[in-house]
Amino acid sequence: MKNALLTTDFQFPGQTNFYRGKVRDVYTIEDKFLVMIASDRISAFDVVLPRAIPYKGQVLNQIAGFFLDATADLVPNWKLDSPDPVVTIGRLCKPFAVEMIVRGYLSGSAWRTYKKGVREICGVAVPDGLCEHQRLPEPIITPTTKASEGHDEDISREEIISKGIVSKTDYLQLENYALALFERGTEMAAKQGLILVDTKYEFGKADDQILLIDEIHTPDSSRYFMADEYQKRFETGAAQMQLSKEFVREWLMENGFQGQAGQQVPEMTDDFVEKVSLRYIELFERVTGQKFVPADNAHLNKRIETAVAGFLKNHH
């Protein structure tokens, strides 16, 4: 198997903090820069699976970079540079404690809520008589609180403002930004024969300026449907062709794993790992319309360390 990056353990000059997320390792430098390394770890059902997927980190990092660059004229973002295929370095921001989820279609958790008879999702009224995966009259924002532990909770605009989680002025700006990004993402997806179904955005503040942070429009943070299949499948009630990591979840469920206590993660064979890697590369090419160029992963850690050190030296 090709080399894959499961974890990192760097000591960069001026390092003041380190945080390991489900898939990314995040280093803070001099409380000024954030070095985000996209590992090849893969998570599903809130569990990090035991084997890393070659090139997955590069795929996600480069998709996120592609969309951050393509939307920088709409919304300022945190990215300063991507000195390595799996690394993005940006400004350290104080994140807002909400995630802005924008939905153009009634899918996923919104559909599950709707099916129970609920007609107001996160304080947003949704019309009667809709079907699963139906396009909404216009995109809606269904924010969630960012939980440091466990699952994020749905919340309404009114609650966010009244509880002082985000000031009214800032929150309205976040809404405007989120809708503008979703519109751009929708246009870019359409050019690739895709439908951007729903996605999440995160924002933060640096020097009193609101910046878009984290990744955007990646298959890990967004749901895409195949546009040419959509109408026929919608009319016949067939499952939509998705471009996301849903196929990994499906494989796990077929093998008796849904992240519940006492369940064992099924054995991930070389063959399966290879298949997932190829699916991620396909995702990259479908979403960006660009050819994927796999990096030379022979000396991964050394390569990353050299690239980050070079950036820090130039920005000291």
The 10s digit of each residue's pLDDT in 15-26 is 999 999 999 999
| Mean pLDDT confidence for 173-177 | 98
As a whole number, mean pLDDT of residues 207-235 equals 95
Q: Looking at residues 287-298, what average pLDDT do you find?
A: 96
Question: Is 260 a residue whose pLDDT tops 80?
Answer: yes
**Options 3.60.20.10, 1.10.1740.10, 1.20.120.350, 3.30.200.20; CATH of 15-94+244-314:** 3.30.200.20
Choice among 81-90, 111-120, 147-156 with the minimum mean pLDDT = 147-156
Cα 309 vs. chain centroid, distance in angstroms?
26
Question: SS3 sequence, 224-237?
Answer: EEEHHHHHHHHHHC
Question: Considering the domain 95-236 in this protein, what is its CATH number?
Answer: 3.30.470.20
User: Mean pLDDT, to the nearest integer, of 287-313?
Assistant: 96
Please give the average per-residue pLDDT across 180-200, as a whole number: 97
Whether the pLDDT of residue 149 is over 70: the answer is: no
- DSSP calls for 43-111: EETTEE-SS--TTHHHHHHHHHHHHHHHHTTTS-BSEEEEEETTEEEEE--EE-SEEEEEEEES-HHHH
Is the per-residue pLDDT at 141 higher than 90? yes
Question: What is the DSSP pairing of strand 194-206 with strand 144-145?
Answer: unpaired
**pLDDT value, residue 52:** 95
Q: State yes or no: pLDDT of 148 exceeds 70.
A: no
Q: Quick one: pLDDT band at residue 1, thresholds 50, 70, 90?
A: low
pLDDT of 147 above 80: no
Query: In this predicted model, what pLDDT tens digit does every residue of 46-64 receive, in sequence order?
Result: 889 999 999 999 999 999 9
Predicted model pTM: 0.92
Percentage of the chain lying above the pLDDT 70 cut: 98
Q: Give the model's confidence band at 115: pLDDT under 50 very low, under 70 low, under 90 confident, else very high.
A: very high
**Would you say residue 10 has pLDDT above 80?**
yes
Q: What are phi and psi of 274, to 5 degrees?
A: -60, -40
pLDDT category of residue 261 using cuts at 50, 70 and 90: confident
> What pLDDT is stored for residue 46 in this prediction?
83
Could you tell me if 280 and 272 are in contact, meaning their C-beta atoms sit under 8 angstroms apart? no
- Span 152-173, pLDDT tens digits: 789 999 999 999 999 999 999 9
Q: How confident is the model at residue 150 (pLDDT cuts 50, 70, 90)?
A: low
Residues 6+ apart with CB under 8 A from 267: none
In sequence order, the β-bridge partners of residue 198 are 103, 223
Encoded amino acid at 276, one letter: V
- Give 280's pLDDT tier (boundaries 50, 70, 90): very high
pLDDT confidence of residue 243: 84
Q: Please report the pLDDT score of residue 291 as a whole number.
A: 98
Domain regions of the chain by residue span: 15-94+244-314, 95-236
Among the residue ranges 50-54, 88-92, 208-212, 256-260, the one predicted with the least confidence is 256-260
**Which comes out higher in pLDDT, residue 1 or 39?**
39
